[in-house]
Amino acid sequence: MVQKITVVGAGNVGATTAQRLAEKELARTVVMVDVAEGIPQGKGLDQWESAPIEGFDSHIIGTNSYDETAESDIIVITAGIARKPGMSRDDLLNTNAGIVKQVSEQVKKTSPNAILIIVSNPLDVMAYVALKTTGFPRERVIGMAGVLDTARYRAFLAEAADVSVRDIQAMVLGGHGDTMVPLISCTSVSGIPITQLISKEKLDAIVARTRTGGGEIVKHLKTGSAYYAPSSAAVQMCEAVAKDQKRILPCAAWLQGEYGLRDLYLGVPCKLGRSGLEKIYEVELTADERKALEMSAEAVREPMRAVTL
């Protein structure tokens, strides 16, 4: 447990993240901040009133001021507009870049030692905006993408193989979008290679569904985007940091030569602990996987070039 975790944004992702952080008692105080007057206060009070029933002692505070977020150990940034049907993550670029920049300027002033976990989309570029705006070291600005993408991949695999999701070992690398790279070579069921249990045709379909998993939910919802699984992914990262778990999770990290790539955020295997990003692992890729990762990197660089900081 740490002293304070702040969630920026009291929308569906932010509010669900705050509730789960409190229920897991990852911080003594969970602060939810949002520009919408009354929304974080109302949701925060409602969540706190669930504590006697759910049995958690973490205090939840809703506020419109960054003063109450001061000296946060971890800050989860979910602020931004959500996707609507027909919109890609990159369509959100300009609006959300401005929002994330403003948020980053605020948290730099009030919590200069915090570890930032970025959830706002387009994820990889928003992590870049936060890194450049705050000037924090890369170890303290990490993007939530691979954990979510891998969860979707594992869920689809478990359904296809008719096994428990707990027994699926898998990892999705690359950008958080249609060019993400599920690593079939690293996918297994309790150590059994997935290729022995699911046909290539079905695997290809699962990979394709994983890449468009967020869009599939947007089409169903029509007026919003996913928030249950994204909040779970963000909280898993917070837990790894708050408890110094040394978890190896696929996260968006600022690459400086790893995988032959530099100066961009991309999903790679990361060790997370109390100091944030503690190590990037370079796993051996097949020729096709490496080519796909390079294509994904270029897909991230394109919107990066369009951002003015």
Which residues are catalytically annotated?
Answer: 176
Structure letter (DSSP) for residue 83:
P
Q: What is the CA radius of gyration of the chain?
A: 19
- CA nearest neighbour of 107 among 63, 149, 66: 66
E-strand stretches of the chain: 2-8, 27-33, 59-63, 74-77, 115-118, 141-143, 168-169, 172-173, 181-182, 188-189, 192-193, 247-256, 262-273, 276-280
Q: Cβ of 36: how many Cβ atoms within 10 Å?
A: 12
- CA nearest neighbour of 76 among 38, 118, 22: 118
Q: For the packed helices 123-134 and 93-110, what is the interaxial angle rounded to 10 degrees?
A: 40
DSSP for 221-255 reads HSS----HHHHHHHHHHHHHHHTT--EEEEEEEEE
- In the chain, % helix, strand, coil (3-state, to 5) comes to 50, 20, 30
Would strands 74-77 and 115-118 be described as parallel, antiparallel, or unpaired?
parallel
Q: Tokens 């991949």 sit at which residue?
A: 153
Bridge partners, residue 62, by sequence: 32
